[in-house]
């Protein structure tokens, strides 16, 4: 899961300034006190540091939101598919004599239904 992080100042209007960092590899988010416009540092588990223009509060909020999405996805993943697709019984078009209907039926028969 990727988290959007503002990584640079735009040189021209409309230019992209967002980079993405991996939620799974973030070890900590710290304030940046050195020179330059940076406001925070994202430290990864491998020691790499990403300087960001977001505040630490903003980054922590984005991490919290991403963790909620990941948790929700994990719960939904264990439930199995919510929609299993079409079956031959789903295709009911009375008085329909079109090529698409025949194509759907042949595809479903090819897939073993």
Residues 23 and 58 in one domain: yes
Residues 33 and 52 placed together within one structural domain of the fold: yes
Q: For the range 20-26, what are the long-range contacts, defined as Cβ-Cβ under 8 Å and sequence gap of 24 or more? A: 21/50, 23/63, 23/66, 23/67, 23/70, 26/63
- Position 93 scores a pLDDT of 62
Q: Quick one: pLDDT at residue 77?
A: 74
Does pTM top 0.85 for this prediction?
A: no
* 33-48: pLDDT as tens digits: 989 889 999 999 999 9
| 97: containing domain | 85-113
Can you give the pLDDT at residue 87?
64
The answer on 112 and 57 residing in a single domain is no
Per the structure, the count of domains in the chain is 2
Co-location of 72 and 113 in the same domain: no
Q: Answer yes or no: do 11 and 59 share one domain.
A: yes
């Amino acid at each position: 899961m990727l988290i959007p992080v503002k990584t640079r100042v735009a040189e021209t209007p409309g230019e992209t300034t967002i980079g993405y960092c991996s939620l799974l590899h973030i070890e900590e988010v710290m304030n940046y006190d050195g020179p330059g416009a940076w406001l925070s540092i994202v430290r990864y588990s491998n020691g790499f540091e990403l300087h960001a223009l977001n505040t630490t509060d903003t980054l922590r909020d984005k991490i919290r939101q991403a963790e909620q999405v990941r948790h929700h996805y994990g719960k939904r993943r264990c439930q199995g598919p919510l929609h299993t697709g079409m079956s031959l019984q789903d295709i009911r078009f009375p008085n329909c004599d079109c090529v698409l209907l025949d194509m759907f039926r042949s595809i479903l028969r090819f897939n073993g239904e």
